[in-house]
């Protein structure tokens, strides 16, 4: 069970009564008072941990369980691998009962929609980056290693007594990033060569 607000304007009574009517015992009910978009939902986490092979997770409506269609698909895939079913009592998705063949078919359609949504987002992202590059703008995350940082790293790594942790802290990079670009003796590696060539262009 879940409601979004803790100010008393939303209550769990309707969901509670529906779950009891569906044959669940009070001791097996779990609840959260949190937005469905939040990751921190202790009631849901406790419920998922308590489920065992052969159990069925019952929710009042599908939106009480997942943050998004993709999250729902991931949760149900995890449950399926553990031998746990999912049953939705009402609302959109009420035909879902993964303990039945028909319910599995309906959820398969949901999973296909989630995959379709993921591909659409990917295609839009690629198209957006291509359009930005065509206008002279490079999208994506800025590289952590710059030509200036690389020169300092080269000079410092070649000296005796260099403390790698201090150097990484000064440059604002991790040791993995440092060693990916520069050898322990200060020589450029393949990733470092790319940074240098990028700085020349």
135-147 residue pLDDT tens? 776 655 677 888 8
pLDDT for 141: 65
pLDDT for 112: 74
> What's the whole-model pTM score?
0.52
pLDDT for 145: 87
SS3 per residue for the chain: CEECCCCCCCCCHHHHHHHHHCCCCHHHCCCEECCCCCCCCHHHHHHHHHCCCCCEEEECCHHHCCCCHHHHHHHHHHHHHCCCEEEECCCCCCCCECCCHHHHHHHHHHHHHHHHHHHHHHHHHHHHHHHHHHCCCCCCCCCCCCHHHHHHHHHHHCCCCCCHHHHHHHHCCCHHHHHHHECCCCCECHHHHHHHHHHHC
Spans in the chain with pLDDT lower than 50:
none
* 31 is known as an active-site residue: no
Catalytic residue among 4, 35, 68, 197: 4
Q: Which domains does the chain have, with CATH numbers?
A: 2-115 (3.40.50.1390), 147-195 (no CATH)
pLDDT for 59: 92
């Amino acid at each position: 069970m879940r409601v979004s607000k803790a100010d008393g304007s939303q209550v769990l009574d309707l969901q509670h009564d529906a779950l009891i009517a569906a044959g669940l015992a009070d001791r097996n009910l779990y609840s959260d008072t949190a937005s469905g978009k939040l990751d921190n939902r202790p009631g849901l986490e406790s419920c998922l941990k308590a489920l065992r092979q052969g159990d069925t997770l019952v929710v009042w409506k599908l939106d009480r369980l997942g943050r998004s269609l993709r999250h729902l698909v991931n949760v149900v895939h995890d449950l399926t691998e553990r031998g746990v079913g999912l049953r939705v009592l009402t609302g959109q998705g009420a035909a879902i009962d993964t303990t039945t063949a028909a319910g599995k078919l309906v959820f398969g359609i949901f999973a296909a929609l989630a995959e379709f949504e993921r591909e659409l987002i990917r295609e839009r992202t690629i198209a957006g980056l291509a359009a930005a590059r065509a206008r002279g703008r490079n999208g994506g995350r800025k590289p952590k290693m710059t030509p200036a940082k690389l020169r300092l790293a080269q000079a410092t790594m070649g000296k005796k007594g260099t403390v790698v942790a201090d150097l990484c802290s000064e440059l604002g990079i991790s040791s993995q990033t440092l060693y990916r670009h520069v050898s322990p003796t200060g020589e450029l590696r393949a990733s470092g060569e790319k940074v240098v060539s990028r700085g020349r262009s």
